Chain A
Amino acid sequence: MEYVNPEGIREDGRRPLEMRHLHAEIGTVARADGSAVFEMGNTKVIAAVYGPREVQNRSQQLNDQALVRCEYTMPNFSTGDRMRKPKGDRRSTEISLVIRQTMEACILTHLMPRSQIDIFVQVLSADGGTRSACINAATLALADAGIPMRDLVTSCSAGYLNSTPLLDLSYFEDSAGGPDVTVGILPKLDKVTLLQMDARLPIDIFENVVQLATEGCKAVANYIHEVLLENTKQLEYRRGL
């Protein structure tokens, strides 16, 4: 099966090192404290953040820091074939845990003890890279909610098919069964908070693929940075400054 044709073009017309088109909006869920919509190509996710608020289950309350909860759901209409269970299945539970751990590492939880921060991410349209899109959307939503963070967290995936490292896999490329590396970084502090891989890779190729995914994360970080700055400028302008 050919994923990269002899001219070096992928199935959707991109080059191997090319990311999909990014688009983000902030403040889309009015009821939430912070919210964002993030699109990477055809993958579209929406994130809503509530908090810090009182811990609902007192037995889970942490005395010195905030409790971060995360829920990842994929409604029935998000994938090509109608999904059977939107949440609670093994994959959703695993991704919820992964996103929670990634975001918890960067939120300054010690500033909000005995409280709870809820992050809800829902995939509206799934075309590969939903995990990364969810982390990027959650970062934007947390920044919109004014929750203090160490740095923005950005994420991107990369793979290796037909002996070529490919950046930002689509669903078609992901379902090929080849390696799929997801990386999450704190771009300004230059630290890795998430590194996941399916299948296997020789160690030297693995380094290349991780490096590629990290470059993709930095590109996403630049875009998110621009979106946040533009949002602040618009708010300041409306305030009349």
Chain B
Amino acid sequence: MAQSEQNTGFLTPQRAVKSGRMKEALVEKKLLVTPGEELGDASEVKAGKGAYLAPHRNTVYASLNGLASFVPPPLDSPDQRHTVEVSGHKAYGAVPEPGSVVIARVTKVMARTASADIMCVGPKSVREKFTGIIRQQDVRATEIDKVDMHSSFRPALTYLLAKLSLGDARAYYLSTAKNELGVVSAESTAGATMVPVSWTEMQCPLTGQTEQRKVAKVGS
């Protein structure tokens, strides 16, 4: 079959199986799939991201539209099957998962809580923001009843790393009660990005003023 210059070497599972080049196409990431296409038998491959295992049929199918590829198994695992993944061009936006570390932007600071918009879950950004709440007792690990919310966070373009938990009906709960969690980037009243000085203070490079925040210990 003649292939135009633009579509060099992309195969669909039908053509690949016919010409016996299924495995080769998967390894080279040239297999184009749409949702519902068969990617392999459950005894030979595992379902990774973008693929799923049908419960009754023992076959792995694609669930996204894109290119399928093989991921080799880690050398020491007992299960030596390859993992099949499908990567589309638009991955659906991340959904907050309890226990994950998120990047959130502080929107409101009140007497005992602060509310923040969750922008990224892990390394992936969300399409539309989710709301989270940081309670007074979740700001830090020690002396939790003596926390002053206004000395820990300010709404001005403040980004923080926090750990997510399910929360109540209204919002997710965020916790910064660890050394490596807290404010990572904040803007001072003068408008410059502040530099962290200690775990409670950040300094503005323009005016030299220090402002109080619960700072995250990032990096080695």
Kindly identify, within residues 198 to 241 of chain A, every residue whose CB is under 8 Å from any CB belonging to chain B. 224-225, 228-229, 231-233, 235-237
User: Known contacts A150-B52, A150-B63: does B92 contact A188 (CB below 8 Å)?
Assistant: no
B185 within 8 A of A: no
What's the nearest-Cβ distance from chain A to residue B166, in Å? 8
Q: Are B35 and A51 interface neighbours, CB within 8 A?
A: no
B201 within 8 A of A: no
**Who on chain A is nearest to B52 by CB?**
A108
B112 within 8 A of A: no
In the complex the two chains form, what is the Cα distance from A129 to B35 in whole Å?
Answer: 24
What's the nearest-Cβ distance from chain B to residue A137, in Å? 15
Q: Are A149 and B92 interface neighbours, CB within 8 A?
A: no
Stretch at the interface among B83-91, B102-110, B174-182, B202-210: B83-91
Kindly identify, within residues 4 to 43 of chain A, every residue whose CB is under 8 Å from any CB belonging to chain B. 33-34
Q: At the interface, is chain B mostly helix, strand, loop or mixed?
A: loop
A177 within 8 A of B: no
**Who on chain B is nearest to A33 by CB?**
B127
CB 8 Å contact bits of B16-37 with A (1 = contact, 0 = none): 0000000000000000101111
Q: Are A151 and B7 interface neighbours, CB within 8 A?
A: no
In the complex the two chains form, what is the Cα distance from A9 to B35 in whole Å?
Answer: 37
Q: Are B36 and A150 interface neighbours, CB within 8 A?
A: yes
From B6, B35, B36, name the one whose CB has the most chain A CB atoms within 10 angstroms: B35
Q: For chain B, which range describes its interface: under 10, 10 to 19, 20 to 34, or 35 or more residues?
A: 35 or more
Q: Are B34 and A143 interface neighbours, CB within 8 A?
A: yes
Q: Are B169 and A59 interface neighbours, CB within 8 A?
A: yes
Query: Which one of A146, A148, A186 lies within 8 Å of B89 (CB-CB)?
Result: A146
Query: Which one of A59, A61, A146 lies within 8 Å of B88 (CB-CB)?
Result: A146
**Who on chain A is nearest to B118 by CB?**
A54
Q: Are A187 and B36 interface neighbours, CB within 8 A?
A: yes
B54 within 8 A of A: yes
Kindly identify, within residues 30 to 87 of chain A, every residue whose CB is under 8 Å from any CB belonging to chain B. 33-34, 50-54, 58-59, 61, 66
Q: Are B35 and A146 interface neighbours, CB within 8 A?
A: no
In the complex the two chains form, what is the Cα distance from A59 to B128 in whole Å?
Answer: 19
18 contacts between A and B (CB under 8 A): A34-B90, A50-B128, A52-B93, A53-B93, A58-B170, A114-B96, A143-B34, A144-B65, A144-B90, A148-B63, A149-B36, A150-B61, A152-B34, A189-B36, A229-B10, A229-B12, A232-B66, A233-B6
Question: B residues touching A (Cβ–Cβ < 8 Å)?
Answer: 6-7, 10, 12, 32, 34-38, 50, 52, 54, 61, 63-67, 88-93, 95-96, 126-131, 169-170
